[in-house]
Amino acid sequence: MTALPLLQMKGIYKHYPGVVALADVNFELYAGEVHCLLGENGAGKSTLMKILSGAIKKDSGSLYIEGKEIEFNSPADAQKYGISMIYQEFKLVPELSVAENILLGNEPTRGRLPLVDHKKMQLDAQEILAQLGEEIPTATRVSFLGMAQRQIVEIARALSRQVKILAMDEPSASLSQNELERLFAVIRKLKTEGVGIIYISHRLEEVFEIGDRLTVLRDGKFIHSCPVSETDRRNLIRWMVGRELEQEFPRIEPDREEEVLRIEGLSSGILRDVNLSVYRGEILGLAGLVGAGRTELARVIFGADPKDKGRIFLEGEEISARTPREAIDLGIGLLTEDRNKYGLIMQLNVRENISLSNLRQVTGRFFINQAEENSVAEKFKQALRIRTPSIDQKVENLSGGNRQKVILARWLFTKSKLLIFDEPTAGIDVGVKLEIYNLINQLAKEGIGIIVISSDLPELLGICHRLAVMWEGSITGILSSQEATQERVMTLATGMKSG
Amino acid sequence: MFGTAIQPGEKRLKTVFGDLGISTALLLEVILFSVFSPYFFTAENILNVTLQTSITAIIAAGMTFVILTAGIDLSVGAMVAFSGVVVTSILKLGIPFSFSFPLCLLAGILMGICSGSLAGLFVTRFNITPFIVTLAMMTILRGGAYIYTGGRPIWGLPEEFSFLGSGRAFGIPVPTIIMLCIYLCAFVVLRHTKFGRYVYAVGGNKEAARLAGININRVLWSVYLICGVLSAISGVLLASRMNSGQPNAGLMYEMDVIAAVVVGGTSLFGGRGSIVGTFLGAMLIGVLRNGLNLLNVGSYVQMVVLGVVILLAVLLDQIRGR
C-alpha cells in the first residue's frame, strides 16, 4: 500500500434546520487500518457516516477515494466504490437463511435464467464465512442466531460485495466479552486483506485494543486525530467531553446489613438454583456473558416471567409476584435493557412516561389531576436534570441519556425499595454516564437496594460493591469489590472454577 | 441529531397545524358547498348532517379506542344489524312499550357487551390478531341476524319507538344529542382518566406498557367491549330511524367508520390519535356526502370522490408526521 489514503473527507459541512451537524470536518482512512471515530452522541459521527454511505448529501466539502474526487448521490453509488456500513440495528431479514442474507440482492442465478441457484448460494456463503474464519450453518434462519453471529453475517454480507471500506457503528453494543474477541479476530483478518475499517464505539477500552488511529469529533467539529498509541484514556475523554472529568467511576461505600432482597434456590427457564442477597444501600453487580441468564433473573424477580422453583424475600417477607404490577406494588423497579423497546412509550411525552407506573398517585376518584402530575414531572425533571425543553416533549425527541433518566424518574416515583438496572449506560455518552453513576450512588445512599446488570465490565468493577457472576443460568461466584478483577470475573463468567 | 434539530416550538406548531389541517379541510368543504348550494348552510341542513352522521360517528368513537391500541374491529356493521333485529323483535313481543322499551335498550347494550368481550377474549387470552377475530365476529353476527329474522325485515313497531332515531329535543335531533354526549364522555375518558392513558400506552408499546405495570389484557379487552356497546347502541338508533329491524342494516359501516377514524388522524399502528380528530373526520365525510347529494352528484361518483378525499386526508397526515 502506498501512502495515498483510501478515503479522504475534507472540509465537510452539513446543516440541518437550526443546527450545524458538521463544520469543516476532516477524516482520513488508510487501507488495512482500524480508524476509531469517537465523540459523544450528537457529535456528528453518524452524520459523517451517513454522508460516506451516500444516505445523505453534504452541503460542501470534498470526498476522495484513492485520490479521486467522488460525489455520491445514493447509497448504491457508495456501494459501487466498495463502501459498506454496519449499523447498530442490523439490517438482516430474520426469516431468511444465513446464506440468503449474505447474498441478498446479489443472488447467484442459473446461467441466464432468473432463477436462484440455491446450491451455489450456500457454497458462496460458506466460502465468505470461511474467509472470516467463522463457521455458521448457512441454511439456518437468522432469527435463530445470537447477536454475535448476526454481526458476523452482516460483515459477511459486506464482504460479498467486495468491500474496501467497512464502517461499523457500535458493533460491540450487544456483544459479550468473548463474542467481542471473535469480532476483533474477524476485524484483524479484514485488516490483513487491506480493508479500511471505521470503528465507532462508546467503549474506550476497545479503542485501545483494536484501533490503529483515532479521530475525535465534538459538536460537529473536528477536534483531534492521532495514532492510538500516542494517547491515553484521559486525553480521549477530555477531547470528547471538552473538559476534565473528575473521576470516571465515582463510588461510595454502603452501610449495609439490612437485607432488601433474598433469593433462595430459584429455578426457571435457564436459571438454575440461584441464591442471592442484596442489602439496603448496596450496589450489586451482575456480571456474565450475554445469555448467562442475568436479564432472565431480573425478569423473574420483577414478575415479568414465572418462576418454577425457589423463594424470593423482600425485606424479610416472602413474595411471589406474578405480574410486573404486583412487583411494582411491592416496591421493585426494573429499568429494562433496550429502553426504547421495553421501557419507554415513544408516543407519550416526558410527563406521561414518568407517571405511567404510578398514575393512581396522581388520580382522584375518577380523573388524573393534571396539576399534580405536572408538578411531579417537574420535580423529577429538576432532580435528575433531565434535559428537555418541556415535560410535554415527546420522549422520542430526547437523547439516550435523558431517556434513561425519564425511566429512572418513573421508578423513583413508584418509591422502589429495590431497583434493577439492566444495561443502564448502553449507548450513553461518557459525560452522561457519570451522571447516571452518580444517581445510582445517590439512590444507594438513600437506602435503596440496587442490582446493576452490565456487559461493560470496567463499569461494574467501577461502581459495584459486590459482583455476582453468572454462567449458564447459575451464579458461579460472588466477589467483593476488593476481590473482583477483570480476570477473575471472566474466569467465572466462562464457567471455569476460579483458582 | 434529527431530533434536536427540530425546535419544540416548531413541533408544537406542527401538531396544532396538523389539527388545523383537518379542521381547515372541513371548513373549506363547508365554504365550498355553501357557495354552490344555497340550502347547504342552513341550520336545518346542518342539523340534518349531524343526524345522518350520528350513527357511524358513534361507532367511530368506539373504533378510536380500538385503533389507538393498534387493533381493528370489523364486526361493527354486523353488530348494528344484529342488535337492531333483536331489539325490534323484543318490541314486537306485545308487552306494553313502557316495559319493552327499557328491556330492548338493556338487551341491545348486553349484546354489545357479549360480542365485544368475546372478541376481546380471543384477542387477549388466545392472542389472535384482531383483524381475524373481528372478521369472524362480523360474519357470525351478520349470519345470526339473518337466521334470527329468516332474512326478512321486522316491521310494525310501536310508534313511540321512532322518537329515539327520528325525534327531536329542543329542536335538535335525538341521535345528534346522543352522539354529542358519547363524544364528550369518550373525550374525558381518553384525556383525563388512567384508562385513557393506558389505551395510548398499550397502543404505543405493548411490552413496555406491561413492564410498566399496566394490565394490558384488561385494557385491550375493554376497548373491544366499548366498541361493541357503542355499535349496539348505534344499531338501536338505526332501527328506530328506519322504524324496522333490517338484517342487512349497517352493511359496510366498518369501512365508513375506519375511514372517519383514520381521516381524523389516528394511526392504525396505535398510540397516536384523538377523539376530536375522529369527530372531525366523521363530520368531514358526512358533510361531503350531504353536499354532494345537494349538488345532485350521483352515488357512484360520490364513492370515487370519498375515496380521493380519504387518500388526500391521510397523505396530509403523512406529510405532517415527517
Across chain B, mean pLDDT equals 89
pTM: 0.80
Interchain pair A368, B209: CB under 8 A: no
Q: Is residue B75 part of a domain?
A: yes
Nearest CA in chain A to B215: A325
Q: Is residue B141 part of a domain?
A: yes
In CATH, what number is assigned to the domain containing residue B112?
A: 1.10.3470
Interchain pair B8, A328: CB under 8 A: no
Q: Is residue B18 part of a domain?
A: no
Rounded CA Rg of chain B = 20
All three cell numbers of B271 = 398510540
What is the band of A201 on the pLDDT scale with cuts at 50, 70, 90?
A: confident
Interchain pair B4, A397: CB under 8 A: yes
Q: What is the Cα–Cα distance from B173 to B50, expressed in whole angstroms?
A: 8
% of chain A exceeding 90 in pLDDT: 36
Any residues with CB less than 8 A from the CB of B96 and at least 6 apart, and which?
none
Q: What is the pLDDT of residue A43?
A: 81
Q: What is the pLDDT of residue B1?
A: 34
pLDDT in tens, A43-84: 888 889 889 988 888 899 999 998 889 888 888 888 888 898
Q: Is residue B28 part of a domain?
A: no
Q: What is the Cα–Cα distance from B271 to A387, expressed in whole angstroms?
A: 24
As for how many domains chain B has, the answer is: 1
Any residues with CB less than 8 A from the CB of A162 and at least 6 apart, and which?
A82
Interchain pair B194, A360: CB under 8 A: yes
Task: Look at strands A283-288 and A466-471 and give their pairing.
Answer: parallel
For A203, which DSSP code? -
Number of separate helices (H) and strands (E) present in chain A: 16, 20
On the 0-12 / 13-18 / 19+ scale of CB atoms within 10 A, B14 is middle
Q: What is the Cα–Cα distance from A396 to A412, expressed in whole angstroms?
A: 21
Chain-centroid distance, C-alpha B84: 16
Helices B43-68, B253-263: axis angle to 10 degrees equals 90
Q: What is the pLDDT of residue A498?
A: 45
pLDDT in tens, A79-101: 888 898 887 767 788 888 999 98
Q: What is the Cα–Cα distance from B219 to B196, expressed in whole angstroms?
A: 9
Q: Is residue B243 part of a domain?
A: yes
Helix (H, G, I), strand (E, B) or coil at A147: helix
Q: Is the pLDDT of residue A416 over 60?
A: yes
Helix (H, G, I), strand (E, B) or coil at A136: coil
More confident: B57 or A137: B57
Q: What is the Cα–Cα distance from A395 to A345, expressed in whole angstroms?
A: 8
Q: Is the pLDDT of residue B11 over 80?
A: no
Q: Is residue B317 part of a domain?
A: yes
Tell me which residue of B216, B199, B221 sits closest to A324, measured CA to CA: B216
Any residues with CB less than 8 A from the CB of B105 and at least 6 apart, and which?
B87, B236
Helices B97-124, B216-242: axis angle to 10 degrees equals 140
H/E stretch holding A266 reads: strand A259-268
Which of A146-150, B94-98, B145-149 has the highest average model confidence (pLDDT)? B145-149
Helix (H, G, I), strand (E, B) or coil at A421: strand
Q: Is residue B157 part of a domain?
A: yes
Domain interval for residue B180 = 38-321
**Taking a C-beta distance cutoff of 8 angstroms, is the pair B25, B31 a contact?**
no
Q: What is the Cα–Cα distance from A42 to B3, expressed in whole angstroms?
A: 10
**Taking a C-beta distance cutoff of 8 angstroms, is the pair A429, A204 a contact?**
no
What is the band of B321 on the pLDDT scale with cuts at 50, 70, 90?
A: low
Pick from B194, B204, B214: CB nearest A363 = B194
Q: What is the pLDDT of residue B3?
A: 36
Rounded alpha-carbon distances, angstroms, from residue B84 to A58, B150, B227, B236, B251: 63, 14, 16, 5, 13
All three cell numbers of A296 = 432472565
Interchain pair B193, A17: CB under 8 A: no
Q: What is the Cα–Cα distance from A412 to A395, expressed in whole angstroms?
A: 18
% of chain A exceeding 70 in pLDDT: 95
Per-state percent for chain A, helix, strand, coil, to nearest 5: 35, 25, 40
pLDDT in tens, A210-247: 999 999 998 888 999 999 999 888 888 888 877 766 66
Angstroms from A162 CA to nearest CA on chain B: 31
Q: Is residue B42 part of a domain?
A: yes
Q: Is the pLDDT of residue A445 over 90?
A: no
pLDDT in tens, A486-495: 888 888 887 7
Substitution target in A218, A300, A345 with the highest count of B β-carbons within 10 Å is A345
